[in-house]
Amino acid sequence: MKKNIVLFSLFVLPIVAYLFFASGVNSFTTLPVISPKVPDLGNWKSLHNETVTLNNKITILGFGGTNIVNNRGNLFNLNEKIYQRYHKFEDLQFVMICPRGTEKDIQGILDALDDFTDISQWHFVFAPTDEITAYYAGLKLKGKLDSNFGTSNVYIIDKNRNLRGRNDEKDYKEGYDTFHPSELSNEMLDDFKIILYEYRAALKKNHNATKQL
């Protein structure tokens, strides 16, 4: 009996463990779509009077709100945990939608970030509050904007303008709370890596197909 237990421990358990972890990896090779084909940003202008599009970019999208100065710590959390690590990825952008009238506040925040960060992939676009509310409704999310037309959540948008996250009932996640650095370091970073994996796998597949042609 003892011999059988030893043999089971040596040979069967490792195989079971391998299958368990392999199935876990496979189930997370793609990140589910929460809201397909979210609206683009239209003609809203940035600080430099430029238009910004979500097309063909992996976008971290947020809503700054009128109270963004008091909540600037959230931006610094996002900058530290995600932006600084990946901002050199050329197909990535960080976009914050902010109410008109907050331009000076945003410039002050960018000036502070510029002291220790390459801010070239930070984009702030400005719109009337009613248009921001309508745009957010178009994302078709469970969460809501606060009374200042902002939220501490940010959202992952893929190159096809699909909002991605976790759609499991027990682990539903449509956005990531920038108020909590631990959530950025854990859930958001894990999910963001999946998006990058998808992108790199698609690049490799296209490269191999081109070589075959």
Cα–Cα dist 20/69, whole Å: 46
**Predicted pLDDT at 146:** 97
Is 103 in a helix, a strand, or coil? helix
Classify burial at 197, counting beta carbons within 10 Å of its beta carbon; exposed 0-12, middle 13-18, buried 19 or more.
middle
Q: Are strands 33-35 and 45-46 parallel, antiparallel or unpaired?
A: unpaired
Cα–Cα dist 213/195, whole Å: 27
Is the dihedral angle over the CA atoms 79, 86, 173, 131 positive or is it negative?
positive
- pLDDT tens series, the chain, 213 aa: 655 555 555 555 555 444 444 434 334 478 999 999 999 999 999 999 999 999 999 999 999 999 999 999 999 999 999 999 999 998 999 999 999 999 999 999 999 999 999 999 999 999 999 999 999 999 999 999 999 999 999 999 999 999 999 999 889 999 999 999 999 999 999 999 999 999 888 777 665 544 443
Cα–Cα dist 98/165, whole Å: 23
Cα–Cα dist 11/140, whole Å: 49
Prediction pTM value: 0.83
**Predicted pLDDT at 179:** 97
β-pair partners for 62: 96, 154
- Count the helix, strand and coil residues of the chain and give each as a percent rounded to the nearest 5: 45, 20, 35
Structural domains of the chain in order of their starting residue, each with its CATH number: 33-206 (3.40.30.10)
Q: What is the DSSP letter of 79?
A: I
Helix residue ranges per DSSP H, 9-83: 13-27, 72-78
